[in-house]
């Protein structure tokens, strides 16, 4: 069995059932890039104190060869079709840093340009995760198919207030929590 498949099976069979029972847990996603074996596990919590009170399970650490890199973000925008989230097969994840003091402008741009992507063919949702202390932003859009995701042009251009290069990656949605 491929290491990535083993890690994804462990997420589905061990990690997810355990996390779903935690106080304040409200959902999440597991994204996988089969090309390079990377995964992103996103857990959403009702409050920061609920998140801090819940230590992450380490079931996947043994499979992946070490502890993951853990980052904490504010959920600045969550605009998903809840009844459709289980139909997401692919995600586009754009990561960038925004100039100091420009995060509110980036959030506004996201709300007025990226969120309307949800109305495009095959779009299921848009999520914006932000870290005010570093200016790091993760823009996640969820899609019913890879072809529908590829046909939609990424919007929400905040290049003018970004610092450095941004990355844009695509992932399979391996589990919705």
Q: Give tens-digit pLDDT for 136-152.
A: 999 998 999 999 998 88
pLDDT at residue 133, rounded to an integer = 93
Give the CATH number, domain containing residue 60: 3.30.70.100
Number of domains in the chain: 1
- Tell me which residue of 99, 105, 42 sits closest to 73, measured CA to CA: 42
Question: Where is pLDDT greater, at 170 or 155?
Answer: 170
Phi, psi of 36 (to 5 degrees): -120, 5
User: Quick one: residue 122, left, alpha or beta (phi over 0 = left, psi -120 to 50 = alpha)?
Assistant: left
> Which domain, by its residues, includes 151?
3-176
Q: Give tens-digit pLDDT for 49-106.
A: 998 888 766 655 555 566 778 889 999 998 887 788 888 999 999 999 999 899 999 8
pLDDT at residue 13, rounded to an integer = 83
pTM of the shown model: 0.86
CA distance 151 to 154: 9
CA distance 30 to 97: 23
Q: Which residues face 162 on adjacent strands?
A: 98
Where do the H-state alpha helices sit in the chain? 3-10, 16-20, 48-53, 59-64, 103-109, 146-151
CA distance 25 to 134: 25
Q: Give tens-digit pLDDT for 158-170.
A: 777 888 888 888 9
């Amino acid at each position: 069995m491929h290491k990535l498949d083993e890690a994804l099976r462990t997420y589905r069979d061990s990690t997810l059932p355990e996390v779903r029972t935690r106080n304040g847990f409200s959902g999440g996603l597991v994204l996988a890039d089969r090309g390079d074996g990377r995964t992103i596990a996103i857990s959403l919590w009702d409050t920061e104190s609920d998140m801090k009170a819940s230590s992450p399970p380490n079931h996947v650490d043994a499979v992946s060869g070490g502890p993951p890199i853990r980052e904490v973000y504010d959920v600045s925008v969550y605009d998903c079709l809840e009844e459709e989230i289980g139909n997401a097969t692919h995600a586009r994840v754009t990561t960038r840093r925004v100039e100091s003091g420009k995060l509110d402008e980036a959030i506004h741009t996201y709300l007025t340009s990226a969120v309307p992507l949800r109305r495009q063919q095959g779009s299921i949702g848009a999520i914006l995760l932000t870290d005010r202390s570093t200016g790091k932003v993760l823009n996640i859009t969820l899609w019913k198919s890879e072809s529908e995701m590829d046909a939609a042009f990424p919007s929400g251009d905040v290049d003018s207030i970004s610092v450095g290069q941004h990355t844009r990656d695509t992932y399979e949605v391996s589990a919705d929590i």
